[in-house]
């Protein structure tokens, strides 16, 4: 059995190598980097890319991202929105468009804000007010919404606003206590904390509001938030939208961290959980830092690496499933494999990389 698994893995790896070569030649995996909706958000130091997911239950890409670069106001803003639910794409676009509008409208005001608490208040109010937009269509957004990870840079100070389980990671050469090694001379420092339901501060709020936290009916998978047996079953404790979940303690307020940039800080990479489910923070920082490619292509290259890992993971599980069914009659085997194929998927993958530099 072990020998056959090894042979299968070798075959899978060869297939993956062929796919990588095709992608390097531009024959597949173009994503939406050049989509019309994002052309207005050009920047020479911030680059984004989305690799759509796949699977029989994946009908559309629900990720989107935002890039605003306003040198005249010493301001940069970039964000990733990871939608979920039946209208997850619509939910992520609503948040993206609303927050972009507020940032652009208030850019002059933000430039004058020297008190970090004022900036944090502005960001909090922006996302809380965004949540009110979803209430205008309760039927659509009852169990659909979006996570968000955003970076606002004002001169040499960055604010990380996090709602959900997308993530922001700083590449720095500073020797920080909680940083993870991304290479010989660099560290990966997480600027956000994933909002999982079993995190103590989230758990207390949800239980107080009448929600309960548990795994699925088979006691498998991640912890989820439930009002009853029907749902909503969300695996994140903060979102925009998700009106059902917000009645039982899910929050829309962002968790905001502040970081003063110095010459040792190189870039920030933000991504949806489609990245972080298969690539660690340290791996991402090391991968970007060591890759000799044009920096403007690194978001695409990292997203493609995540895609390859998802595909490899799925191929391994497919092989293990087939081996586990040996000896079963053909009818049952076919039904079992069909059920497996119906549920296998690759998540949407979005990466935005902001290269840090003085904008004073």
What is the per-residue pLDDT for 272? 98
pTM equals 0.88
Whether 4 is in a domain gets the answer no
Name which of 130, 188, 149, 151 is nearest 273 in CA terms: 149
- What are the pLDDT digits (tens) for 206-215? 999 999 999 8
Q: Are 295 and 48 in contact (CB under 8 A)?
A: no
> Over 80: is that where the pLDDT of 350 sits?
yes
Whether 19 is in a domain gets the answer no
Whether 17 is in a domain gets the answer no
Question: Mean pLDDT across the stretch 204-227?
Answer: 89
Name which of 300, 293, 80, 281 is nearest 188 in CA terms: 281
Question: Mean pLDDT across the stretch 298-324?
Answer: 91
Instruction: Band the pLDDT of 25: cuts 50, 70, 90.
Output: low
Whether 201 is in a domain gets the answer no
What is the per-residue pLDDT for 301? 96
Higher pLDDT, 51 or 344: 51
- Cα gap 274→234, rounded to integer Å: 16
Higher pLDDT, 178 or 324: 324
Report the number of distinct structural domains present in the chain.
Answer: 1
Instruction: Band the pLDDT of 201: cuts 50, 70, 90.
Output: very high
Instruction: Band the pLDDT of 6: cuts 50, 70, 90.
Output: low
User: Looking at 18-27, 237-246, 329-338, which range is the least confident one?
Assistant: 18-27
- Cα gap 303→256, rounded to integer Å: 25
- What are the pLDDT digits (tens) for 303-314? 999 999 999 989
| Percent of the residues in the chain that have a pLDDT greater than 90, as a whole number | 65
| Percent of the residues in the chain that have a pLDDT greater than 70, as a whole number | 84
> Over 90: is that where the pLDDT of 248 sits?
yes
What is the per-residue pLDDT for 14? 64
> Over 60: is that where the pLDDT of 252 sits?
yes
Whether 16 is in a domain gets the answer no
Q: Are 81 and 147 in contact (CB under 8 A)?
A: yes
What is the per-residue pLDDT for 33? 44
> Over 70: is that where the pLDDT of 221 sits?
yes
Question: Mean pLDDT across the stretch 246-262?
Answer: 96
- What are the pLDDT digits (tens) for 44-57? 899 999 999 998 77
81 DSSP β-pair partners: 64, 148
The CATH number that applies at residue 166 is 3.60.40.10
Whether 262 is in a domain gets the answer yes
Higher pLDDT, 244 or 344: 244
Higher pLDDT, 23 or 66: 66
Question: Can you give the residue range of the structural domain that contains 266?
Answer: 45-192+235-319+333-355
What is the per-residue pLDDT for 327? 81
> Over 80: is that where the pLDDT of 322 sits?
yes
What is the per-residue pLDDT for 43? 80
State how far the alpha carbon of 39 is from the alpha carbons of 78, 83, 127, 151, in Å. 14, 21, 24, 19
What is the per-residue pLDDT for 276? 98
Instruction: Band the pLDDT of 360: cuts 50, 70, 90.
Output: very low
Whether 247 is in a domain gets the answer yes
- What are the pLDDT digits (tens) for 130-160? 999 999 988 999 999 999 999 999 999 999 9
Instruction: Band the pLDDT of 34: cuts 50, 70, 90.
Output: very low
Whether 203 is in a domain gets the answer no
User: Looking at 82-96, 196-210, 276-290, 322-336, which range is the least confident one?
Assistant: 322-336
Q: What is the residue-averaged pLDDT of the chain?
A: 87
For 263-302, b where at least 16 C-beta lie within 10 A, e where not — what string? eebbbbbbbbbbbbbbbebbbbbbbbbeeeeeeeebbbbb
> Over 60: is that where the pLDDT of 36 sits?
no
């Amino acid at each position: 059995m072990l020998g056959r698994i090894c042979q299968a893995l070798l075959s899978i790896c060869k297939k993956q190598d062929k796919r990588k070569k095709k992608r390097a030649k531009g024959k597949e995996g173009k994503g939406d980097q050049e989509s019309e909706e994002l052309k207005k958000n050009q920047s020479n130091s911030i680059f984004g890319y989305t690799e759509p997911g796949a699977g029989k239950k994946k009908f559309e890409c629900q990720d989107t991202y935002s890039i605003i670069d306003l040198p005249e106001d010493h301001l940069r803003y970039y964000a990733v929105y990871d939608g979920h639910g039946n209208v997850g794409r619509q939910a992520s676009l609503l948040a993206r468009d609303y927050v972009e509008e507020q940032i652009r409208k208030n850019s002059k005001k933000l430039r004058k804000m020297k008190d970090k608490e004022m900036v944090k208040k502005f960001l909090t109010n922006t996302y809380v007010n965004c949540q009110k937009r979803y209430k205008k269509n309760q039927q659509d957004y009852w169990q659909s919404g979006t996570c968000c990870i955003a970076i606002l840079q004002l001169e040499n100070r960055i604010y990380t606003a996090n709602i959900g389980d997308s993530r922001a990671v700083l590449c720095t050469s500073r020797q920080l206590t909680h940083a993870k090694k991304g290479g010989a001379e660099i560290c990966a420092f997480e600027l956000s904390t994933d909002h999982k339901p079993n995190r103590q501060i989230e758990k207390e709020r949800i239980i107080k509001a009448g929600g309960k936290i548990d795994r699925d009916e088979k006691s498998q998978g991640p912890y989820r938030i439930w009002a009853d047996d029907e749902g909503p079953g969300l695996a994140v404790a903060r979102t925009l939208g998700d009106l059902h979940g917000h009645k039982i303690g899910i929050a829309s307020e962002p968790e905001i961290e502040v970081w003063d940039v110095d010459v040792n800080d190189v870039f920030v990479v933000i991504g949806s959980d489609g990245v972080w489910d298969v690539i660690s923070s340290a791996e991402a920082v090391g991968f970007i830092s060591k890759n000799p490619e044009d920096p403007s292509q690194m978001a695409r290259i990292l997203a493609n690496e995540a895609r390859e890992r998802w595909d490899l993971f799925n191929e391994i599980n497919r092989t293990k499933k087939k081996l586990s069914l040996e000896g079963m009659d053909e009818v049952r085997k076919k039904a079992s494999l069909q059920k497996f194929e119906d549920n296998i998927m690759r998540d949407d993958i979005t990466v935005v990389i902001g290269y840090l530099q003085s904008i004073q």
